[in-house]
């Protein structure tokens, strides 16, 4: 796709995500309808669904032939496929509210995330920190926070915090607990999108979690200019299909992480 066409898609993505954020702010004090999905702590609200429908409709109107991979199931009035394989063709990847539990319980620390991939290659990533009103966006070459280009200075582990998934941290999956002892501490914010913007703001060194493609699609595009990789815990590529244990970390730190993993595997023996 030409640079100009991609630029138009990026502008549309930013506009739709901003509009989604405005919509959520307008409904922030509403009583929401909450539905359980797979279990009691896997929730969706009417606002997740409304944002998903709104964003997809906006993209479909401009790009009727593009595909979608979105978190929530399609409703009857929006019934075509929203679970397209990210590796196949021009695919928009949407997480309408990332941090639904935070949204329900705290009305804080949630994000709208939209990415665009061509045959599995990330071309556009957009994350809105809804409450703070900050829009992070990029094309894989450069990333911006609102109108300012982001520059990231990597700090040593011992001067940094880690973003973690609490289950993985507690159970020392991938040597994460061991690794944390050589940092200033860990933070578990409950929204992958907010963890990604914390990396981009230089607040955390990296992020370890158990995520689905819509949780990491935009973040991995936004981190690409800084030589971060979004990979499985052993450094191998993600399959972009189901939920996987993963990390987004500076590429030049993979060997150090592997060392921690080897040491913690030794201890388990």
- Annotated binding-site ranges for Mg(2+): 71, 95, 97-98, 215
Could you tell me whether strands 67-70 and 90-98 are parallel, antiparallel, or unpaired per DSSP bridges? parallel
Residue 138's binding partner among ligand IPD, Ca ion, none (Cβ under 5 to 8 angstroms by kind) is none
Q: How far is the CB of 188 from ligand IPD (least distance, A)?
A: 8
Instruction: Figure out which of the listed residues 135, 150, 215, 229 binds Ca ion, where binding follows CB under 5 A.
Output: 215
Task: Name the residue among 173, 205, 200 with its Cα closest to residue 187.
Answer: 205
Q: How far is the CB of 240 from Ca ion (least distance, A)?
A: 15
Residue 190's binding partner among Ca ion, ligand IPD, none (Cβ under 5 to 8 angstroms by kind) is ligand IPD
Instruction: Figure out which of the listed residues 50, 82, 95, 261 binds Ca ion, where binding follows CB under 5 A.
Output: 95
Per-position DSSP letters for the chain, written without gaps between them: --HHHHHHHHHHHHHHHHHHHHHHHHTTTSPPPEEESSSTT-EEEHHHHHHHHHHHHHHHHH-TT-EEEESSPPPGGG-S--B--TTSSEEEEEEEEE-HHHHHHTS-S-EEEEEEEETTEEEEEEEEETTTTEEEEE-SS-EEETTEE----PPPGGG-EEEE-HHHHHTTGGGHHHHHTTSSEEE--S-HHHHHHHHHTTS-S-EEEEE-HHHHHHHHHHHGGGTEEEEETTSPBP-SSS-EEEEEEEGGGHHHHHHHHHHHHHHH-
Task: Please identify, using beta-carbon distances, which residue of 131 and 192 lies nearer to ligand IPD.
Answer: 192
Sketch the per residue contact string, 59 through 78, with Ca ion: x for CB under 5 A, - otherwise. ------------x-------
Chain residue at closest Cβ approach to ligand IPD: 192
Task: Please identify, using beta-carbon distances, which residue of 15 and 243 lies nearer to Ca ion.
Answer: 243
Task: Please identify, using beta-carbon distances, which residue of 244 and 264 lies nearer to ligand IPD.
Answer: 244
Contact positions vs ligand IPD (CB under 6 A): 71, 95, 98-101, 165, 190-192, 209-211, 215
Task: Please identify, using beta-carbon distances, which residue of 71 and 139 lies nearer to Ca ion.
Answer: 71
Q: How far is the CB of 52 from Ca ion (least distance, A)?
A: 9
Task: Please identify, using beta-carbon distances, which residue of 204 and 217 lies nearer to Ca ion.
Answer: 217
**Site residues (CB under 5 A) for Ca ion?**
71, 95, 97-98, 100, 215
């Amino acid at each position: 796709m030409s640079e100009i066409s991609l630029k138009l898609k990026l502008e549309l993505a930013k506009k739709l995500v901003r509009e989604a954020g405005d919509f959520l702010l307008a409904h922030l004090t509403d009583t929401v309808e909450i539905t359980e999905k797979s279990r009691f702590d896997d929730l969706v609200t009417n606002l997740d669904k409304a944002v998903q429908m709104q964003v997809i409709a906006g993209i479909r109107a401009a790009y009727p032939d593009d595909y979608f991979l979105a978190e929530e199931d399609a409703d009857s009035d929006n019934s075509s496929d929203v679970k397209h394989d990210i590796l196949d063709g021009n695919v928009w990847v949407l997480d309408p509210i990332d941090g639904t539990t935070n949204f329900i319980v705290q009305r804080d620390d949630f994000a709208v995330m939209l990415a665009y991939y061509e045959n599995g290659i990330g071309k556009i990533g957009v994350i809105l920190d809804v409450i703070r009103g900050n829009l992070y966006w990029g094309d894989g070459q450069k990333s911006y926070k609102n109108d300012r280009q982001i520059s990231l200075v990597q700090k040593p582990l011992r001067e940094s915090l880690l973003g973690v998934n609490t289950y993985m941290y507690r159970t020392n999956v991938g040597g994460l607990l061991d690794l944390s002892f050589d940092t200033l501490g860990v933070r578990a914010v409950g929204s992958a999108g907010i963890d990604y913007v914390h990396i981009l703001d230089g607040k955390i060194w990296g992020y370890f979690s158990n995520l689905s493609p819509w949780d990491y699609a935009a973040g991995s595009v936004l981190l690409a200019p800084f030589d971060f990789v979004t990979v499985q815990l052993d450094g191998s590529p993600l399959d972009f299909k189901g939920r996987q244990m993963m990390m987004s970390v500076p590429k030049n730190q993979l060997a150090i992480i592997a060392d921690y993993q080897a040491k913690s595997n030794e201890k388990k023996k």
